[in-house]
Amino acid sequence: MRKDAGTLRDLQLALQLKIEELRQRDALIDELELELDTKDDLIRQLQVELDRHRSASQHAASSADAASTGESRTKRQAISAEPTALDPSQLTDVTLTSYCKTKESRELIQRALMDNDFMKHLEHGQILTIMDCMYPTSLAKGCCVIQEGDDGSTVYVLEEGQVEVTKQGKKLCSIGPGKVFGELAILYNCTRTATVTALTDIKLWAIDRQGFQTIMMRTGLIKHSQYTDFLRSVPSFQSLPEDVLSKLADVLEETHYTDGDYIIRQGATGDTFFIISEGQVRNDDNSDKQVKTLTKGDWFGEQALKG
Ligand SMILES: Nc1ncnc2c1ncn2[C@@H]1O[C@@H]2COP(=O)(O)O[C@H]2[C@H]1O
């Protein structure tokens, strides 16, 4: 169903306002990023100082992420003092390797990822790829899997055995099979928030930072390009410049409704603008007593863009 020209003009005006707002926010973000860079430099200097004061024996004892090699090793020499996120330009260089697993292991890993508060919101495809790329490793009772304060390089799922999580020497909890750990440092690009020690001989599934971040970023970039393509396919948006489509794609989120769900109720305050990518929506507009059917590419909820 076509919208009238007046509504389209309103929508375009509202979009321009939103774009201007986004531009201003970008400028502010640039300023804040500069400030952050300065602070990062300071943190780096302080971290280098701190590293210098750590004794060699402490390094050997901490041997973070020993499980990624299957044996103890000293803390890696950091090129940068803080963990770094993957550069998007490296994405194509990273080859993801799949590792064979039994059906039980595949299910255990999937359940563990979907049960973890920080990972349960990942897309199903991402969970499957992470699961595919996890490799097996094992450690003996008493080994330190993760040392608090170290750079993190691996996310784990425990398959067999028990580990203990401690922070500044105090026990936080024990973890058993079917649980994820070591995700925080990788997801939030921070140092390890706690120490994890094997209470028994343990079997683990592991994925390294680079593989993990590649899966996260590739999916993000693919999604962005799909959203931009979708917006470009909507007749009302076809005349918008590429950078505007790209910005709209940044803020686009996919939502699903089942047959019969209400999306917007008349009279409710609207804060979302919708574009239909699949299916049909019935619009009962009481003002003219007409029932309209909206389909792919049609949009509604444009009042939300006017703030
Ligand atoms: N309070 C907690 N309860 C359970 N697990 C924790 C807790 N704090 C930290 N961890 C886990 O211990 C891990 C240490 O390394 P990360 O910080 O990468 O990720 C951390 C979590 O997976």
Please give the domain boundaries of the chain with CATH numbers for all domains.
63-73+82-254 (2.60.120.10), 268-307 (no CATH)
The Cα 142–Cα 220 span in angstroms is 39
pLDDT of residue 80 exceeding 50: no
| CB contact set of 224 (below 8 Å; sequence gap of 6+) | 246, 249, 250
pTM value is 0.56
Is pLDDT larger for residue 97 or for residue 1? 97
pLDDT value, residue 124: 87
The Cα 31–Cα 287 span in angstroms is 48
pLDDT of residue 231 exceeding 70: yes
Q: Is the CB of 173 under 6 A from ligand 1?
A: yes
| CB contact set of 127 (below 8 Å; sequence gap of 6+) | 110, 113, 114, 119
Encoding tokens for residue 215? 């899966």
* Under 8 Å between Cβ of 53 and 62: no
DSSP conformation letters of 45-113: HHHHHHHHHS-HHHHHHH-TTGGGTTS--PPPPPSSSS--PPPGGGGGGPPP------HHHHHHHHHHH
Ligand 1 pocket test, pick from 146, 147, 153, 180 with the greatest ligand atom count within 8 Å of Cβ, gives: 146
pLDDT value, residue 287: 65
pLDDT value, residue 92: 62
- Work out the pLDDT band at 303, boundaries 50, 70, 90: confident
- Work out the pLDDT band at 79, boundaries 50, 70, 90: very low
For 117-166, the pLDDT digits (tens) are 988 888 888 899 999 999 999 999 999 999 999 999 999 999 999 999 99
Helix (H) or strand (E) holding 196: strand 195-198
Is pLDDT larger for residue 276 or for residue 80? 276
The Cα 19–Cα 251 span in angstroms is 11
pLDDT of residue 78 exceeding 60: no
Ligand 1 pocket test, pick from 181, 191, 208 with the greatest ligand atom count within 8 Å of Cβ, gives: 181
pLDDT value, residue 101: 97
Ligand 1 centroid from CA 252, angstroms: 32
Question: Exposed, middle or buried: residue 128 (CB in 10 Å: 0-12, 13-18, 19+)?
Answer: middle
Q: Which range, 83-92, 151-160, 232-241, 261-270, is most confident?
A: 151-160
For 253-290, the pLDDT digits (tens) are 888 899 999 998 887 877 888 999 889 999 886 666 77
Q: How many CB atoms lie within 10 A of CB 34?
A: 10
| Mean pLDDT for the stretch of residues 210-232 | 85
For 152-204, the pLDDT digits (tens) are 999 999 999 999 999 999 999 999 999 999 999 998 889 999 999 999 999 99
Binding site for 3',5'-cyclic AMP, by residue number, is: 183, 192, 302
Amino acid at site 186: I
Q: Is the CB of 184 under 6 A from ligand 1?
A: yes
Q: State the residue for tokens 């020497």.
A: 169
pLDDT of residue 103 exceeding 90: yes
ipTM for the assembly: 0.98
| CB contact set of 165 (below 8 Å; sequence gap of 6+) | 171, 172, 173, 174, 175, 181, 194, 195, 196
Ligand 1 centroid from CA 268, angstroms: 42
The Cα 36–Cα 150 span in angstroms is 22
Give the residue whose CA is nearest to atom 10 of ligand 1: 194
pLDDT of residue 55 exceeding 50: no
